[in-house]
Structure 1
Amino acid sequence: MIFGEKLKTERKKMGWSQDELAERLFVTRQSVSKWENGQNYPSIEIIMKISDLFGLTIDELLRSDEELTKKVIRDSRQLAYPKLKFAFDVLFLVGLVLLVIKLVVLILNKTAGLDITLYGGKVLWNFGPLLLMLGGGIGSGILKDKFKQS
Structure 2
Amino acid sequence: MNFAEKLKKGRKEKGWSQEELAEKLFVSRQSVSKWENGQNYPSIEIIIKLSDLFNVTIDELLRSDEELKEKVIKDSKQLAHPKLKFMFDVLFLIGTALLIIKLGIFTLNKFTALDINLYGWSFFWNFGPLILMVGGGIGSGVIKEKYIED
The C-alpha deviation readout for 1:23-51, integer Å capped at 9, x for no partner, is 32233444323312212212333223212
CA distance in 1, matches of 2:38, 2:59: 18
Alignment partner of 1:11 is 2:15: no
CA distance in 2, matches of 1:95, 1:125: 7
Percent identical pairs in the alignment equals 64
Alignment partner of 1:65 is 2:69: no
Match in the other structure for 1:34: 34
Task: Describe how 1:119-134 pairs up with structure 2 within 5 A.
Answer: 119=123, 124=127, 128=131, 131=134
What do you get for the CA RMSD once the two structures are aligned?
Answer: 4.2
Structure 1 pair 41/84, CA: closer, same or farther in 2 (3 Å)? same
The C-alpha deviation readout for 1:94-138, integer Å capped at 9, x for no partner, is 422542574488579973689x86338x7x5695566467x37x9
Task: Describe how 1:69-80 pairs up with structure 2 within 5 A.
Answer: 69-77=69-77, 80=80
Conservation of the 8 A alpha-carbon contact between 2:5 and 2:36: yes
Paired letter, 1:12: K
Q: Which has the higher helix share?
A: 1
Structure 1 pair 86/70, CA: closer, same or farther in 2 (3 Å)? same
Structure 1 pair 81/117, CA: closer, same or farther in 2 (3 Å)? closer
Greater length-normalized contact order (CA 8 Å, ≥ 6 residues apart): 2
* Number of residue pairs matched by the alignment: 137
Identify unmatched segments of 5+ residues in structure 2.
145-150
CA distance in 2, matches of 1:113, 1:25: 60
Match in the other structure for 1:48: 48
Identify unmatched segments of 5+ residues in structure 1.
144-150
**TM-score under structure 2 normalisation?**
0.58
**TM-score under structure 1 normalisation?**
0.58
